[in-house]
């Protein structure tokens, strides 16, 4: 096809979706297929104002992108943010919370502690139970404790909306169109709430089961999008062209899918087109005709070959590529891998004064005494504030106070007077400091580098991508028992690439013999430019 024919075919798919009279539409589309620009076209096609459109997505990265591009045209939320908004706006959905409830993500830690003290046993898996929509003594306990503290957190905000809807309450908001992005990442609790939200609204659901990365982390299940695809309630559509990746990445993506299916993986996958789009990516494909596979003899402190290789490749990024990344607001470079591999790069990056962003994923939520002091400085009888304080410092009367609260006794009244006086004095002496409005001095002539995990890469893309940890034992964990999510992790990482992708592997990590990933064999040697690095490589340079 020539350029005109490519655009004609692409536009025909867009027109088909927009002109369909179906009230429920499902687009199954791969990464980089132009979903955000399609959302904008959809809003303009239907007309109206910002309040007529609701866009829900899964993660903050995607919300930020959608807010930037579509925030003037539609209301944009993460799904959890939208449930929090519903609780604030609609008292009938709160399931016992008062109007002035606090949003406190670490509430889960307080309730776990309450259970241990009151029941003298290990706390249930509250989050999993809520995500599985379980209504039992455990989740009832959680909601009652939340009501006592007049607080809601992350999953329980959604669970409160779910319980209210399940009991017959309704969401009154009506929209001309609701758009739900990344549907493959939603769990049972979230899809149950979503089914109620979209029941009386025209809805466009978008997702891709190839990018389902949260099955293990948060109980999501790609079967939810597959059931929509196979059902009769939604009309199915596709966006078949990748407008982001060069041809080498598309070729490797196709190879990975073929090999995975040959080995019995991705057996329930929705078949979808993921085609190269020459009118946009031909030039990049000529400049970067292959994926670079770097296999090093070692990666350890004192022989940081991954780090040295990355630094060397960064020097090849052109001024034009750096400028484009800043103008279009995406990173110049993404380095993707397990946290311990990402951390191994940091010493040499710091030594060379490379500017980079790295936010380490944190598990669990901390109960900080400062949060409690802030709450009681505003309301000195705040149950939540005092509960946070005694959880943080655990005085000798700690369990007695928690036990008293089961009868709805006010925590403040059960505390020793000298303790409350001392704490209130500290709370009142806290200085309210405004955060300084610091303008970051970013050198836009240097590449913007981000280090992220596979899950953290969702919603991002970059000119140059480095994928670390491609060893058996890491990705995949067991080359003889590969699972679907491991394939999806690799596919997501690959398709963050706008121009050049580098896959980094080693035969020795931190003194331990390791072997290149089984996935490397699946990529096809014709798509790879293989670089082998040992100590002689650096001397030769």
Tens of pLDDT, residue by residue over 171-193, are 878 899 999 999 999 999 999 99
Residue 541: pLDDT above 80?
A: no
Residue 23: pLDDT above 90?
A: yes
**Residue-level pLDDT at 18:** 94
Residue 440: pLDDT above 60?
A: no
Is residue 84 within 8 Å of residue 160, measured between CB atoms? no
Strand blocks (E) in 297-424: 333-336, 356-358
Is residue 424 within 8 Å of residue 373, measured between CB atoms? no
**Residue-level pLDDT at 503:** 97
Cα four-point dihedral sign 514, 515, 518, 519: positive
- Residue 109 or 433, more confident: 109
Cβ neighbours for 422, distance < 8 A, ≥ 6 positions apart = none
Other C-beta atoms closer than 10 Å to the C-beta of 283 total 11
HEC string of 294-309 equals EEECCEECCECHHHHH
For 14-77, the DSSP string reads HHHHHH---SEEEEE--TTS-HHHHHHHHHHHH---GGGEEEEESSHHHHHHHHHHHTTTSEEE
**Residue-level pLDDT at 124:** 94
Q: What is the rounded CA–CA span in Å between residue 327 and residue 170?
A: 43
Q: What is the mean pLDDT of residues 143-157?
A: 95
Which DSSP symbol is given to 91?
G
pLDDT band at 223 (very low <50, low <70, confident <90, very high): very high
Is residue 7 within 8 Å of residue 277, measured between CB atoms? no
**Residue-level pLDDT at 294:** 95
Q: Which two tokens stand for residue 88?
A: 């604030």
Q: Can you tell me which residue has the tokens 């209504």?
A: 135
Which DSSP symbol is given to 108?
H
Q: Which two tokens stand for residue 519?
A: 């996935």
pLDDT over 90 for what percent of the chain? Answer: 76
Q: Can you tell me which residue has the tokens 């409005």?
A: 437
**Partners of 530 in the beta sheet?**
293
H or E element at residue 538:
helix 535-540
- What are 367-399's pLDDT values in tens digits? 899 999 999 999 999 999 999 999 999 999 989
**Partners of 466 in the beta sheet?**
335, 502
Q: What is the mean pLDDT of residues 118-130?
A: 94
Residue 435: pLDDT above 80?
A: no
Q: What is the mean pLDDT of residues 471-499?
A: 96
Is residue 132 within 8 Å of residue 188, measured between CB atoms? yes
Q: Which two tokens stand for residue 55?
A: 């866009």
Other C-beta atoms closer than 10 Å to the C-beta of 514 total 17
Cα four-point dihedral sign 135, 156, 146, 415: positive
Cβ neighbours for 396, distance < 8 A, ≥ 6 positions apart = none
H or E element at residue 514:
none
- What are 333-352's pLDDT values in tens digits? 999 999 999 999 999 999 99
Which DSSP symbol is given to 187?
B
Is residue 41 within 8 Å of residue 177, measured between CB atoms? no
- Residue 82 or 437, more confident: 82
Is residue 529 within 8 Å of residue 295, measured between CB atoms? no
**Residue-level pLDDT at 429:** 84
Residue 434: pLDDT above 70?
A: no
**Residue-level pLDDT at 540:** 66
- What are 204-218's pLDDT values in tens digits? 999 999 999 887 777
- Residue 132 or 444, more confident: 132
**Residue-level pLDDT at 432:** 54
Q: What is the rounded CA–CA span in Å between residue 6 and residue 23?
A: 28
Q: Which two tokens stand for residue 24?
A: 């429920």
Q: Which two tokens stand for residue 244?
A: 């982001």
Q: What is the mean pLDDT of residues 45-69?
A: 83
pLDDT band at 439 (very low <50, low <70, confident <90, very high): low
Q: What is the rounded CA–CA span in Å between residue 471 and residue 494?
A: 16
Q: What is the mean pLDDT of residues 148-160?
A: 95
**Residue-level pLDDT at 409:** 81
**Partners of 509 in the beta sheet?**
299, 512
Is residue 30 within 8 Å of residue 272, measured between CB atoms? yes
pTM: 0.91
Q: What is the rounded CA–CA span in Å between residue 90 and residue 69?
A: 28
Q: Which two tokens stand for residue 167?
A: 């009991």
**Residue-level pLDDT at 433:** 52
């Amino acid at each position: 096809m020539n350029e005109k024919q490519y655009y004609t075919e692409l536009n025909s798919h867009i027109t088909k979706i927009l002109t369909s009279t179906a009230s429920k539409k499902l687009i199954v589309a791969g990464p980089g297929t132009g979903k955000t620009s399609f959302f904008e076209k959809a809003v303009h096609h239907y007309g109206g104002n910002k309040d007529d459109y609701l866009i829900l997505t899964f993660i903050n990265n995607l919300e930020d992108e959608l807010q930037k591009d579509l925030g003037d045209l539609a209301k944009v939320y993460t799904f959890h943010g939208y449930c929090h908004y519903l609780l604030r706006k609609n008292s009938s959905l709160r399931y016992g919370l008062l109007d002035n409830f606090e949003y406190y993500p670490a509430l889960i830690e307080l309730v776990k502690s309450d259970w241990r003290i009151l029941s003298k046993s290990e706390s249930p898996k509250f989050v999993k139970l809520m995500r599985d929509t379980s209504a039992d003594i455990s989740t009832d306990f959680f909601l009652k404790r939340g009501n006592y503290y007049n607080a809601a957190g992350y999953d329980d905000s959604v669970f409160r909306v779910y319980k209210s809807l399940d009991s017959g309450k309704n969401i009154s908001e009506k929209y001309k169109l609701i758009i739900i992005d990344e549907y493959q990442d939603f769990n049972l609790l979230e899809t149950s709430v979503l089914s109620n939200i979209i029941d009386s609204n025209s809805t466009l659901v978008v997702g891709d089961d190839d990018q389902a990365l949260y099955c293990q982390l948060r109980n999501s299940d790609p079967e939810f999008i597959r059931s929509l695809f196979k059902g009769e309630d939604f009309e199915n559509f596709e966006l078949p062209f990748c407008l982001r990746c060069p041809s080498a990445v598309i070729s490797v993506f196709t190879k990975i899918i073929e090999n995975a299916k040959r080995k019995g993986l991705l057996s329930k996958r929705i078949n979808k087109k993921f085609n190269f789009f020459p009118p946009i990516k031909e030039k990049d494909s000529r400049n970067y005709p292959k994926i670079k596979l770097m296999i090093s003899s070692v990666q350890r402190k004192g022989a940081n070959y991954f780090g040295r290789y990355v630094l060397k490749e960064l020097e090849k990024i052109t001024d034009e590529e750096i400028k484009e990344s800043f103008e279009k607001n995406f990173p110049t470079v993404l380095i993707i891998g397990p946290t311990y591999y990402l951390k191994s790069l940091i010493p040499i990056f710091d030594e060379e004064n490379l500017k980079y962003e790295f936010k380490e994923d944190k598990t669990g939520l901390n109960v900080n005494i400062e949060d409690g002091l802030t709450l009681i400085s505003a309301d000195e009888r705040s149950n939540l504030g005092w509960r946070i304080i005694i959880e943080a410092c655990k005085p000798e009367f700690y369990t007695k106070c928690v036990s008293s609260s089961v009868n709805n006794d006010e925590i403040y009244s059960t505390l020793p007077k000298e303790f409350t006086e001392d704490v209130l004095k500290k709370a009142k002496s806290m200085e309210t400091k405004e955060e300084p409005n610091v303008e970051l001095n970013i050198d836009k002539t240097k590449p913007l580098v981000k280090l992220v995990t596979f899950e953290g890469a969702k919603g991002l893309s970059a000119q140059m991508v480095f994928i670390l940890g491609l060893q058996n034992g890491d990705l995949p964990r067991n080359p003889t028992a590969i699972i679907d999510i491991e394939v999806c992790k690799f596919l997501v990482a690959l398709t963050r690439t706008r121009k050049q992708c580098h896959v980094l592997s080693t035969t020795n990590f931190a003194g331990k013999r390791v072997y290149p990933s089984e996935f490397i064999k699946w990529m096809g040697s014709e798509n790879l430019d293989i670089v082998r690095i040992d100590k002689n490589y650096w001397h030769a340079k």
